[in-house]
Structure formats: C-alpha cells, structure tokens
Amino acid sequence: MLIAVVGPSGAGKDTLMAGARAALAQDARFRFVRRAITRPAEAGGEDHEALTEAAFITRRDTSAFALYWQAHGLHYGIPRNIEEDMAARRVVIANLSRSVLPEANTRYRLRVLNIIAPMEVLAARLAARGRETATDIAARLARDVVMPDGLDIEPVMNDADVAVGVARVLAALNRAASDAQGS
C-alpha cells in the first residue's frame, strides 16, 4: 500500500511525518520515502535527495521514478523501488502532490493521509514561519483545494500539540498496515 501524505501549508505534515518516522524506525512494515527534488540539499525543509534538473530528467526518462511531478518551479520524484516494498506488503509513506494522486490511484493501492488543521491554526503556523506576508498568507488560505474523486482519504486533524498529532498519524498508519497485511 502507498500512503500519500498531503495537506495545506501550515498543517504540520513534515513535523508529523518526522515524528512518525522516528517512532516507526525499527518497524519493518513501514518505509518512509525520501523524495528526489531539484532543490539544493542546503536549501532547508525536508531531507531530500538533491538533483540537478539534468540529472532529474535523466532519471525520469529512464523510468527510475515511480511517480514524478512539477510544482513551485521544482521537479519532484519518488523512486521506483517503492514497488518492491509494496510487493512485500510494506506500507510506503510518501509526501505527494495532490496533482499526482489520480495517477498514483490507478497504479497502486493508495490511501491518502490528508493532514488538516483549522484555518486559524494554519494562519498562526504560516505567520510563525515568517516566510510570507500577511497578504500572501491570506491568499494561500483562501485557495479552494479540492481532492480528486474516488480516493481512499483518511483525514488526520493536527490541531493539538505535536505528540497528539503524531499519535493520530501512527494510529492511521497502523490501520493501513493492518489493511495491507489483510489483502
């Protein structure tokens, strides 16, 4: 099973996934995917494999990625070897773009973990990051995000402290592992 982690900016996806990854580090049922991104490693944010655009295109053109997409002027890819993990009934967890969910759903057994939070929590988190103006934050929050139809979506509310949010993600991942083993 492939678990696609999605959610709006400020929902806390990276924080919750880091906590879940640490908690499940010794659990062979799970694999957390490290994405390839055409962004320098020192740019901050998530731990990713930094690729030049040329290297990314070479990998894409040689089918080295199971899924790939463009967003925010960057290329993102998920390695093809996730298919070996899924064949072994491991749960593969990857931060994906909503734009690639329909393709992922046609190719894999997909469950979407939609990390959500109330609007006022999102606004406060975005403001605390200090990367955007109040106008930019308001515009980001006003975007109407529609999930594609026909997906297995499990919302995970992240409106409390990190430990509570991580516990909610772990519960969702353990449900997915049980479902993957039962198939």
Out of 1-5, 35-39, 136-140, pick the least confident: 136-140
51 has a pLDDT exceeding 90: yes
Within 8 A by CB and 6+ apart from 55, the residues are: none
Q: 92 with 82: CB under 8 angstroms?
A: yes
Within 8 A by CB and 6+ apart from 173, the residues are: 3, 20, 24, 30, 91, 93, 113
Domain ranges of the chain: 2-182
CA 82 – CA 87 distance, rounded (Å): 9
183 has a pLDDT exceeding 90: no
Across the beta sheet with 91-95, the strand order is 30-32, 91-95, 2-6, 110-116, 153-157
pTM of the predicted model, to two decimals? Answer: 0.88
Report the mean per-residue pLDDT for the chain.
90
157 has a pLDDT exceeding 80: yes
The pLDDT of residue 144 is 65
The domain 2-182: what is its CATH number? Answer: 3.40.50.300
Cβ neighbours of 13 (radius 10 Å)? 21
Average confidence (pLDDT) over 97-107: 94
Sign of CA dihedral 152, 163, 24, 16: positive
Across the beta sheet with 36-37, the strand order is 49-50, 36-37, 74-79, 65-71
The pLDDT of residue 43 is 66
CA 114 – CA 5 distance, rounded (Å): 6
As a whole number of Å, the end-to-end CA separation of the chain is 10
